[in-house]
A and B are shown apart, each in its own frame.
Chain A
Amino acid sequence: GQQLNQSPQSMFIQEGEDVSMNCTSSSIFNTWLWYKQDPGEGPVLLIALYKAGELTSNGRLTAQFGITRKDSFLNISASIPSDVGIYFCAGQRETSGSRLTFGEGTQLTVNP
């Protein structure tokens, strides 16, 4: 199918806790992207990864491009209430040109 395997589907955490989510595929990817989507809005890019093994941070967010090029993870440290939303991984497959494949999303709930 068109989607990546993203887990977990949902997470309920306390404010201040760290969060980790990941995406895996049987296909090789050239690019991994992580997005956050708020209700009624389009996805907003959090982190872009372009090279196998690359580890990139954006504030409290850290993401890595798996060395096998088939997976990626996103970590959020010291979560805050505004981290609530749906997080999507997306990848550009080696064989699909510029088209992106999306994960199913991780719904994050942060309790104050």
Chain B
Amino acid sequence: GAVVSQHPSWVICKSGTSVKIECRSLDFQATTMFWYRQFPKQSLMLMATSNEGSKATYEQGVEKDKFLINHASLTLSTLTVTSAHPEDSSFYICSASSRGAGYGYTFGSGTRLTVV
């Protein structure tokens, strides 16, 4: 159990376009989902936390108008990178947590975004 599916696994887009990344909990209801960004050879940096049905809470320094997060259901959260620029190229990873289920924090397989 505790499977999180993230899609797409990689995407290449042109500067100025927007990209949407989906994160789904397949076999449990995720009360909270998290979005991380990871640069090569570095650790995961939390971007934002989202609870189903409420606005996401962004970490300091993360532009909420650039990284739009929607958590409309207990099994789906989306991250949209708006007006992407080359410096947004990175590895984006979501994770999901279910209160009381003892699943810890299960991660998706990540999305490699390259902006050209």
Contacts and interface: CB of A to CB of B under 8 A. Distances in A.
DSSP majority for the B interface? strand
Contacts of B109: 41-42
B67 interface: no
A104 interface: yes
Given A33-B104, A33-B105, A41-B109, A102 B32 contact: no
Which one of A3, A42, A97, A98 has the highest number of Cβ atoms from chain B below 10 Å of its Cβ?
A42
A106 to B, nearest CB: 11
B107 A42 contact: yes
A42 B105 contact: no
B106 interface: yes
B8 to A, nearest CB: 13
A103 B43 contact: yes
A48 B43 contact: no
B46 interface: yes
Contact of A98 (B42, B43, B49, B112): B49
A2 B46 contact: yes
A99 B107 contact: no
A40 B90 CA distance: 11
B44 interface: yes
A105 B105 contact: no
Interface string B17-61: 000000000000000101000000011111001000000000100
A44 interface: yes
Interface in A2-17: 2-3
Interface of A: 2-3, 31, 33, 35, 40-45, 48, 88, 90, 97-100, 102-105
7 contacts: A2-B45, A42-B107, A44-B107, A97-B49, A98-B32, A100-B105, A105-B43
